[in-house]
Amino acid sequence: MLLHIPQVLTAEELQRCRAVMDTADWKDGKVTAGQQSAKAKNNLQLPLDHPEHRTLADLVLRALGRNPLFNSAVIPLRVVPPLFNRYDPGMEFRAHVDNAVRPIPGSGGMRIRTDVSSTLFLNDPEEYEGGELIIYDESGTREVKLPAGDMIVYDTTVLHSVEPVTKGSRLASFFWTQSMVRDESQRRVLFTLDQQIMDLRARLADDDPAILGLVNVYHNLMRQWCDVM
């Protein structure tokens, strides 16, 4: 899965993020990297103890909660509180794979399985050069660079990298989600089915037999495939 979700944040929410990030005291991004990733990672990160970090993370989480496309595609169970990074000229993140299991900061030791990765872009492509997110999957190499407020969602199983920034600064939020549906192919089936139901509901009454039948199939598949523990 590689899904572009537009306008996750409003203009006001982006402005709030930028107000904090433009004046923040950034730290080395290796602090949240795994052993292999740390060797490939060269960027900056908003410290977890920054006084506004929790505020911005909650802002992003609220935006996710109201976004039907994210919830349809990911079927989230738990989300690691969003993190925030910056790439200045010369910074990059060479090809790596994210850790399969990550702790949830401040949870008293809770960990999640990372099924889906998300990068939420916080400034426009015109503000920096380079910095493309590169996804390496079965269909080849794909390059992603989105407008501020847009998000890319992809399976955490794939290799990915961030190209070197050559001018300006690239700002983003990133986080991982444990889905209620572990299997990638099952998530794709449910997402396709849900989108077809939404399309039909725009043209037919909710009590139309075709819609009722497909909704029944969707929820029966959810019962078989979901893990909510």
Is 113 in the same domain as 159? yes
Is 90 in the same domain as 154? yes
Q: Rounded to the nearest 5 degrees, what angle is found at the Cα of 142, between the Cα atoms of 137 and 146?
A: 130
If you count DSSP H runs as helices and E runs as strands, how many of each does the chain have, helices first? 6, 17
Give the 3-state secondary structure percentages of the chain, helix then strand then coil, rounded to 5: 35, 30, 35
Task: Kindly report the CATH number assigned to the domain that includes residue 201.
Answer: 4.10.860
pLDDT of residue 218: 98
Is 161 in the same domain as 141? yes
Q: Comparing 34-38, 88-92, 137-141, 180-184, which segment has the lowest mean pLDDT?
A: 34-38
96 is in an annotated binding site: yes
4 is in an annotated binding site: no
Is 112 in the same domain as 188? no
Is 125 in the same domain as 155? yes
Confidence band of 37 (pLDDT split at 50, 70, 90): low
**pLDDT tens, 120-136?**
999 999 999 999 999 99
Residue where the block lists tokens 């537009």:
6
Q: Does residue 85 contact residue 27 with C-beta atoms inside 8 Å?
A: no
Radius of gyration (C-alpha) of the chain in whole angstroms:
18
Is 52 in the same domain as 87? yes
Closest to 178 (Cα-Cα) out of 227, 119, 112: 112
**pLDDT tens, 94-152?**
999 999 999 888 778 889 999 999 999 999 999 999 999 999 988 889 999 999 999 99
Is 205 in the same domain as 116? no
Is 109 in the same domain as 168? yes
Is 150 in the same domain as 219? no
Is 82 in the same domain as 122? yes
- 226 Cβ contact partners less than 8 Å away, ≥ 6 residues apart: 75, 180, 181
**pLDDT tens, 11-22?**
999 999 999 999
Q: Note down the domain range covering 29.
A: 2-179
Task: Kindly report the CATH number assigned to the domain that includes residue 74.
Answer: 2.60.120.620
Is 93 in the same domain as 192? no
Q: Which amino acid is at 99?
A: N
**pTM of this prediction?**
0.93
Q: How far apart are CA 89 and CA 91, in angstroms?
A: 6
pLDDT of residue 138: 84
Confidence band of 35 (pLDDT split at 50, 70, 90): low
- Provide DSSP, 17-34: HHHHHTT---EEGGGG--
Confidence band of 36 (pLDDT split at 50, 70, 90): low
100 φ, ψ (degrees, to nearest 5) = -70, -30
Is 148 in the same domain as 215? no
Comparison of pLDDT for 140 and 167, the residue scoring more: 167
